[in-house]
Structure 1
Amino acid sequence: MGGREPLRDDLVAVARVARTRGTRGEVVADLLTDFPERFDGLERLIAIAPNGDLHALIVADHWFHQGRLVLKFVGYERIEAAQSLVGCTLAVPEAECVPLGEGEFYEWQLQGCRVETVAGEELGRVRAVWHTGGTPNLIVDSTREHGRDYLIPLAEEICIEIDVGRKLIRIDAPEGLLEL
């Protein structure tokens, strides 16, 4: 698994600008991707301002310093210009996401997936993936009458089919899991 959630339509967050750096328009950003190498050769990013405005950015240079990403953009030559980027989320189009291997997927691809049992009984839709230090869990908003949400371990022996194209996750729930 990797990556983060889509932000607007087909945009996927890869970093968030934390502050300016120096006086030549550089910014320091926190990574929001499991693939820092994706910045090698990256020419463009989309800045999403806190108010939702979008701005296309051309990457002039990037490097890593103390676990954070430092970026220099074309047209941002002074600290005053770079200050406008602080707080922005930096994104790429979904089509430019790093390809994953067979059976791998991004967490944001799971959100909204329909969850059903092997018997075809619909349980609900995935709201989020919750990390607790061990096996991640799917938080599933119930479509059943009782309205109780489900916490489903994202383990191969339970989530026996994940089809992000069809937005479907089929589970083989061990006894008692759905009663918790």
Structure 2
Amino acid sequence: MPPSDWVIVARLLRTHGRRGEIIADILTDFPERFEERRRLFLIPPERLHSRPREIELESHWFFRSKIVFKFKGIESINDAEPLRGFEVAVPQSERAPLEEGSVYVGDLIGCHVIDLGRNGVDIGEVVDVDSASSSTSLLVVRRPSSGPGKRKEQDALIPFAKAWLEAIDVEQQRIEMRLPAGLLEINAPMTKEEQREIETRNKE
């Protein structure tokens, strides 16, 4: 199955306990569906070079804002450690139905954020969605290099707030928003002059 036929529902972070348990970020708006799922698939970080691995979910529980998985056949820390960074997926045909106006978190990745408040400027590509650090999900947007000498690419954190959202077109990979003035500047890298000023203050 090509990548577009999978839905990413979690990302494995690290071992948790001594019996093969693994803690993960939740990347689905329907974590309650793990109660009815037994068949899951693990997709390695180098997804272009490997096939998804089918695995059976024995049990799971929620830990703060994350989830802990216990997979069949993964019985120790040594078994679980190689799975760091793997994504947990289900086939598109098995994903939960959405209400009108809703969108899957995984479908946001790869979309470009268009700021209509700046005459339709392309802010950058969504490379991740942080749903754990605050009550509002944060779009991690990879901004392109710009300015004299071309600054390095930098990630901007943009709250996925309904008040700012105008439209989402998953097929065209567009997220149209009207961002508040000054939001992007908060994420802007310091200029050389600002860095020198901070260094001078520290010396004083």
TM-score (norm 2): 0.56
Give yes or no for contact 1:160–1:172 (8 Å, CA) kept in 2.
yes
- Partner Cα separation in structure 2 for residue 90 and residue 151 of structure 1: 22
Structure 1 runs of 4+ with >4 Å offset: 48-54, 63-70, 147-151
Determine what percentage of the aligned residue pairs are the same residue: 25
Distance of 1:117 and 1:51 partners within structure 2: 32
How far is 1:12 from its partner? 1.8
Pair 45,120 (structure 1): closer, same or farther in 2 beyond 3 Å = same
Separation in structure 2 between the aligned mates of residue 41 and residue 57 of structure 1, nearest angstrom? 15
Name which of 165, 172, 178 aligns with 2:178: 172
Residue equivalent to 2:141: 140
Which of 14, 17, 26 is the aligned partner of 2:10? 14
Alpha carbons of structure 1 residues 43 and 176: separation in structure 2 relative to 1, 3 Å: closer
Instruction: Report deviation, 1:15.
Output: 6.2
Distance 1:130 1:90, change over 3 A: closer
1:40-91, CA deviations, whole angstroms, 9 ceiling, x for partnerless residues?
33232224567875432245x4354988656463xx4x957x9534442462
When the two chains are superposed, the root-mean-square deviation of aligned CA atoms in Å is: 4.0
Q: For the structure 1 residues 30 and 172, does the alpha-carbon distance in structure 2 shift closer, same or farther, using more than 3 Å as the test?
A: same
1:112 offset after TM fit, Å? Answer: 2.0
- The answer as to 2:63 corresponding to 1:55 is no
Q: Give me the whole-angstrom Cα distance separating, in 1, the residues matched to 2:143 and 2:71.
A: 45
Q: Which consecutive residues of structure 1, in runs of 5 or more, have no partner in the other structure?
A: 1-7, 22-26
Residue aligning to 1:3:
none
After TM superposition, list the pairs within 5 Å mapping 1:1-180 onto structure 2: 10=6, 12-14=8-10, 16=12, 18=15, 21=19, 27-33=20-26, 35-48=30-43, 54-59=52-57, 61-62=58-59, 64=61, 69=68, 71=70, 73=72, 76=73, 79=75, 83-88=78-83, 89=86, 91-95=88-92, 96-118=94-116, 119-130=119-130, 132-133=133-134, 135-143=136-144, 145-146=146-147, 150-180=156-186
* 1:31 positional shift: 4.5
Q: By percentage of residues, which structure has more helix?
A: 2
Q: How many residues were matched structurally?
A: 163
Counterpart code for 2:96? V
Q: Determine the C-alpha separation between the residues in 1 that align with 2:11 and 2:91.
A: 14
Q: 1:154 to 1:65 in 2, by over 3 A?
A: closer
Q: Which structure dedicates a bigger proportion of its chain to strand?
A: 1
Once residues 66 and 178 of structure 1 are traced to their aligned partners in structure 2, the CA distance between those partners, rounded to angstroms, is 33
- Partner of 1:84, secondary structure, is helix
**Contact 1:63-1:71 within 8 A present in 2 as well:** yes
User: Cα–Cα, structure 1 residues 64 and 113, in superposed 2: closer, same or farther, change >3 Å?
Assistant: closer
The amino acid of 1:127's aligned partner reads V
Counterpart-to-counterpart distance in 1, 2:11 and 2:146: 40
